[in-house]
Amino acid sequence: MPESTAVSFESGAVRLRGRLHLPPGRPGPVPCVVLCHGFSGTMDRLVPHAEAFAAAGMAALVFDYRNFGESGGEPRQLVDIDGQRQDVRAAIAFARAREEIDPGRVLLWGNSLGGAHAIVVAADDPRVPAVVAQIPFNGFPRKVEGRSAWATLRLQAAILWDAARGRLGLSPYYIPMIGAPGELAVTATAEAERHIRTLSGDGQTLWRNSIAPRAFLRMMRYRPGDAAERLRAPLLVCIAADDHETPEEKTRALAERAPDGELRRYPGTHFGFYNDPAIREAVLTDQIAFFTRWATPRTER
């Protein structure tokens, strides 16, 4: 069985916490996959992925971004785009410094918003040998399916009110990340509501259904596609055919703009990548094969 150890490291003035999964019977320094979770996510949701990579012979590092889960930082539940990218760079540096890990074979894996971070960080770090972006964020869709004009106005008002509170130094105006249809939430669909039950599970989870919506103003200006053009590492983009949160019209552009980009399309929706074991297994099989190919020393390929 893979070995899992609690770890912590500094990212600027913030202490981040994570878990390092090591493969069994490792003969020497091994490749390592640094996993970057998505908007509002926490590291515990990525344990199945980390265990799969470790079982395939690679170390896997999961961690919480600042302001989330077990990591430090204030205000809580606030997505800090620039801070999260700094956290990814700190995680890479931590992995490269571990004696169990080959510093020349630290790979990046990102889900949703974390997929955008993985591309942007790797574009500025030529030592990253390969990147996987799963259902990655690449800008908001023109229209969100199932969201009425009134619901859009309510969400926009919450974003602006929270941003105003932030400028005044006040505590965030929190809203649910996931809600039932008609509720004020970032995602309010029947499928999302079913997904929240999966996240909650037996209650033993770091994830919280709460978010400071001011982060969306910064995300509106986030352009990972520009970084994809500068990416030297091979990129695998894995998308869902019926994804309404990170739709194909946006995500496939990342693979097309990367000099060495590859696109894989799977059945199902955005939440199917989390909730459907068959989809997750198929996607992970392809991702492990991709990372194994690019983590192998050039003399052995």
Q: What is the pTM of this model?
A: 0.94
Sheet holding 261-266, edge to edge: 3-11, 14-22, 59-63, 30-36, 101-111, 131-134, 235-240, 261-266
Which portions of the chain are predicted below pLDDT 70?
A: 1, 143-146, 195-204, 297-301
pLDDT of residue 25: 82
User: Could you say which of 3.30.457.10, 3.30.200.20, 3.40.640.10, 3.40.50.1820 is the CATH number of the domain covering 3-144+222-300?
Assistant: 3.40.50.1820
Residue 146 backbone zone (phi > 0: left; psi -120 to 50: alpha; other: beta): left
pLDDT, position 198:
62
Q: What is the pLDDT of residue 299?
A: 46
